[in-house]
Chains A and B, each alone.
Chain A
Amino acid sequence: MSISPDGIIWWQWGGLSLNATIVFTWLVMALLTLLSWLVTRRLSTGTKLSRWQNVLEVLVTGIRDQIHQVSRQEPGRYLPFVGTLFLFIATANLLNVVPGYLAPTGSLSTTTALAICVFVAVPLYGIACEGPLRYLRHYVKPTWLMLPFNVIGEVSRTIALAVRLYGNMMSGTVIVAILLSLTPYFFPLIMELLGLLTGMIQAYIFAVLAMVYIASATSAHQRTAQSGHSAVSSSD
Chain B
Amino acid sequence: MDNVALIGMVSVITAGLTIGFGAMGPALAEGRAVAQALTAIAQQPYEAGAITRTLFVGLAMIESTAIYCFVVAMILIFANPFWDYVTAPAGG
Contact = CB atoms under 8 A, between A and B. Distances in A.
Interface of A: 1-3, 69-70, 160, 163-164, 166-168, 170-171, 174, 201-202, 204-205, 208-209, 212
If over half of B's interface residues share one DSSP class (helix, strand or loop), that class is named, otherwise mixed; here it is helix
B67 A205 contact: no
Given A164-B64, A167-B70, A208-B53, 15 more contacts: A2-B78, A3-B75, A163-B67, A163-B71, A164-B60, A166-B71, A168-B67, A170-B71, A171-B67, A171-B74, A201-B60, A204-B56, A205-B56, A208-B57, A209-B57
B33 to A, nearest CB: 14
B82 interface: no
B79 interface: yes
Nearest to A1: B78
Interface in B70-89: 70-71, 74-75, 78-79
A171 to B, nearest CB: 6
B71 A167 contact: yes
Nearest to A161: B64
A3 B57 contact: no
Nearest to A206: B60
Contacts of B50: 69
Kindly list the 4 A-B residue pairs having the minimum CB-CB distance in the complex, ordered from nearest.
A167-B67, A205-B60, A164-B64, A167-B71
26 contacts: A1-B78, A2-B78, A3-B74, A3-B75, A70-B53, A160-B64, A163-B67, A163-B68, A164-B60, A164-B64, A164-B67, A166-B71, A167-B67, A167-B68, A167-B71, A168-B67, A170-B71, A171-B67, A171-B70, A174-B74, A201-B60, A202-B60, A205-B56, A205-B57, A208-B57, A209-B60
A173 to B, nearest CB: 11
A112 B71 CA distance: 15
Nearest to B71: A167
A166 B71 CA distance: 9
Interface string B28-71: 00000000000000000000001001001100100110011011
Nearest to B49: A69
A114 to B, nearest CB: 15
A205 B63 CA distance: 12
Contacts of B64: 160, 163-164, 167
B56 A201 contact: yes
Contacts of B67: 163-164, 167-168, 171
Contacts of B79: 3
A70 B53 CA distance: 9
Contacts of A167: 64, 67-68, 70-71
A168 B71 CA distance: 9
